[in-house]
Each structure stands twice: as structure tokens, then as C-alpha cells.
């Protein structure tokens, strides 16, 4: 891990801040195979019932599955529901 990332992580711990905010990373929360929430995203690239592709600071996050739909979308958070079969970082 680069030194600047270590410093940012240490700073976040000292200040009791969420590391994803200080380190400019995406936060992914998965609820079983039914729902995924991606915070700190950079935009929606693809949306079908079988795949949702979202840009993030680390690259594209691809959620695959069946019957996928967007439950919630804001400028920095997206929630996708349906039958999730895969999550991939490209």
C-alpha cells in the first residue's frame, strides 16, 4: 500500500471518520444475493435487467444477475436489487 494511502487510513482512524470518505474509495454493502448498495460512485455506465455497471474511483463495478433493478440512485449512492449472482471490479 502506498505511503499516502497509509497516512489517509491512519488519519481516518484518528479522526473517527469513515475510511472510504478520506481515502476516496467506493463502499460496497451486499445483503445476501438480493441487494447491493454502492456509495461514492462516479456514475452509471450500463443498466439492464442482467447487468449494472457503475464507475468508481477504483474502476468499474459490475453487478450481474437476473431481474436487476435500481431501487435508489443519487449523485453518490446507488442501490440495486434483484437476484445478484456476481460482483466484479474491472
Domain locations in the chain as residue ranges: 25-89
- Lowest model confidence (mean pLDDT) among 1-5, 22-26, 27-31: 1-5
Query: Do residues 43 and 54 lie in contact, with contact meaning Cβ atoms separated by under 8 Å?
Result: yes
Quick one: cell of 66?
437476473
- For the chain, counts of helices (H) and of strands (E): 2, 6
Query: Do residues 82 and 66 lie in contact, with contact meaning Cβ atoms separated by under 8 Å?
Result: yes
- Lowest model confidence (mean pLDDT) among 16-30, 45-59, 65-79: 16-30
Report the CATH fold assignment for 25-89.
Immunoglobulin-like (2.60.40)
Amino acid at each position: 500500500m502506498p505511503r499516502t494511502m497509509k497516512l489517509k487510513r491512519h488519519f481516518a482512524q484518528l479522526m473517527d471518520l469513515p475510511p472510504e470518505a478520506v481515502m476516496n474509495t467506493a463502499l460496497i454493502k451486499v445483503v445476501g444475493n438480493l441487494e447491493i448498495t454502492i456509495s461514492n460512485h462516479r456514475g452509471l455506465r450500463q443498466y439492464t435487467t442482467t447487468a449494472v455497471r457503475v464507475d468508481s474511483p477504483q474502476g468499474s463495478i459490475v453487478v450481474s444477475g437476473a431481474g436487476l433493478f435500481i431501487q435508489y440512485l443519487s449523485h453518490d449512492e446507488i442501490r440495486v436489487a434483484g437476484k445478484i449472482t456476481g460482483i466484479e471490479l474491472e
